[in-house]
């Protein structure tokens, strides 16, 4: 059995919450900051996948359709 400061603090605050989280293994709700961070990471991942799927053009450094702020923001808004 591994204990952490967070687990002990959770047990001290609410025994039932500790039971659900650590005994039953139910995940807690993500914090708003973590949720937006995950959305940003997912949007960047999808944006990068779009870049990789573009055919390689030797004369163009950045393909215009794949590299646009609108595309990145659309991915981000969709994942929020």
Q: What is the pLDDT of residues 11-44, one digit of tens each?
A: 999 999 999 999 998 987 777 888 888 888 998 8
> Mean pLDDT: which of 38-42, 46-50, 54-58, 72-76 is highest?
38-42
Work out the angle between the directed axes of helices 69-79 and 32-53 (0-180°, nearest 10).
Answer: 140
Question: CA-CA distance, 73 to 77, in Å (whole number)?
Answer: 6
| 2 pLDDT above the threshold of 90 | no
- % of residues, the chain, pLDDT over 90: 28
């Amino acid at each position: 059995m591994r204990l952490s400061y967070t687990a002990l603090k959770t047990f001290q605050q609410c025994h039932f919450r500790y039971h659900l989280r650590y005994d039953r293994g139910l995940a807690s709700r993500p914090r708003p900051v973590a949720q937006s961070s995950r959305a940003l990471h997912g949007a960047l991942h999808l944006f990068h996948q779009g870049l990789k799927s573009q055919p390689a053009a030797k004369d163009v450094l950045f393909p215009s359709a794949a590299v646009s702020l609108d595309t990145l923001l659309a991915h981000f808004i969709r994942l929020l």
